[in-house]
Structure 1
């Protein structure tokens, strides 16, 4: 099937990875921007190694934080194995941001003037299998009567378009703010990091696609967490952040 899609080879492997599929925890962790890896068919998309290692290609540190949270809370983790430059799985197929021609200061030559067939191939190879796997896992949990609260993990750069960002943690939500409200309340009681609602992005920026698709559509409590990436640069800082976030997430359930 992968070869027929024309995007992923057998060497590339599957686009989606699942860890702790039978985790007993109530939380379901998703990391859409876990990897900077490109399928071998695409080479470097015409980008420098500096660009491909930067935040435009992935969310640095997010996967490690997500993995530690998954372990702390015995919760299933699903993540995308390829760069958002090929397809951003937190965007619907009709969004220009799903396969961006530019990102911050970088033009992306390999994404310029994509044909409808090329966009469809990427959607079928990366977006659909990723979200279909999530749907299947959620359906299985529902059939078993397992409670589910969706948590997506992201990171953001401390400087964007030349502007510094003071916020350190963002707790994001769309129309369903139940889980975000409880986490923000818990964070205010132990203000270790500067934490803000719907910052540095929010629903108006189109970043709540996964929450709407799997959380709101199914009536599940859901939240998106954004961590400033200079706070999670190594294993120690990633574990510290994961432990703090695990506490906030658990308090949202206990509340």
Structure 2
């Protein structure tokens, strides 16, 4: 039986599946931004959703890409950004997760994601998910082979309100089994008026996260998922403030972070 043939997911004039900034850098920090874009491939017809809905937090992490770009520029560090919305396929979800290609998000139904064929799901994985993950993995492989110290930072943002949940934190440093880097950041983030979350409102889990468990934990790299509350990232001034806060913190802790990274065994 011949495999099912589908039209290309992306046209030649559409943006690529992912973007790499400073890909040749040997800087200590490597940044990833898994929910960087709210773009939907034209062939998917906006997944049946109005543009104003896609541009909310269900479609991407508001402000995260702009912040990640500023951090990468500050340290001349590598940065990997997804090119398309998490509604098409979520690049920070395991493929077996219900959230990989969501049929509902924050109470909003994404009917176009229901009843997809195996071929349609595989196409999204092959075009958008795997190339992004493979690019990150290849970069980390090259660094490891050359003994380049590496600390992995995943940059995200979270909505300030969620049904039935109060979220007073301004920033969350999240982790799973390895708290070393997150603990440093939590202990040393001393900006007045900023409430720091320790795995709050999100913690990293194998069932719901990909970047930290796969690219960080499995390699033994110091790692952290950084979540910033979206209402503090909604304009250029807010993004610049967070860039200043985090750049100062990361720079001040760089010797301690480098020491963690140099203890990683091949």
Which TM-score bucket, shorter chain as reference? over 0.9
**Runs of 5+ consecutive residues of structure 2 not aligned to the other structure:** 257-266
- SS in structure 2 of the partner of residue 126 of structure 1: helix
Aligned twin of 1:232: 233
Within a 5 Å distance, the mapping from 1:112-123 to structure 2 comes to 112-123=114-125
Alpha-carbon deviations, 1:90-117, whole Å to 9, x = none?
0111111010000002100111111222
Query: What TM-score results when the alignment is normalised by the length of structure 1?
Result: 0.93
- Following superposition of structure 1 onto structure 2, how do residues 187-198 of structure 1 map, counting pairs within 5 Å? 187=189, 189-198=190-199
Contact 2:94 2:209 in 1 (8 A): no
Cα deviation code 1:106-165 (max 9, x no counterpart): 100111111222111111111110000001111122233221100000011111126442
Q: CA offsets per residue over residues 205-255 of structure 1, 9 Å max, x none?
A: 844321111111111110000000110111121011011112222344323
Q: List, as ranges, runs of 4+ consecutive aligned residues in structure 1 with deviation greater than 6 Å.
A: none
2:199 counterpart of 1:181:
no
Residue of structure 1 in register with 2:262 after alignment: none
Contact kept? 2:87, 2:101, Cα under 8 Å: yes
Q: 1:206 to 1:169 in 2, by over 3 A?
A: farther
When normalised by structure 2's length, the TM-score is 0.89
- Gaps in structure 1 of 5+ consecutive residues: none
Structure 2 residue aligned with 1:219: 220
- Which residues of 2 match residues 61-210 of structure 1 at below 5 A? 61-161=63-163, 163-187=165-189, 189-204=190-205, 206-210=207-211
Asked if structure 2 preserves the Cα contact closer than 8 Å seen for 1:69 and 1:242, the reply is yes
Change (3 A) 1:127 1:248: same
Q: For 2:182 and 2:222, how far apart are their aligned partners in 1?
A: 9
Deviation per CA, 1:173-232: give whole Å up to 9, x if none: 011111001000111x44441111111111358443211111111111100000001101
Q: 1:253 to 1:166 in 2, by over 3 A?
A: same
> Matched residues in 1 for 2:115 and 2:191: separation?
48
SS at match of 1:139: helix
Conserved? CA contact 1:168–1:194, under 8 Å = yes
SS in 2 for 1:30: strand
Q: Distance in 2 between matches of 1:20 and 1:109?
A: 38
Q: Following the alignment from structure 2 to structure 1, what is the Cα–Cα distance between the partners of residues 210 and 201? A: 16
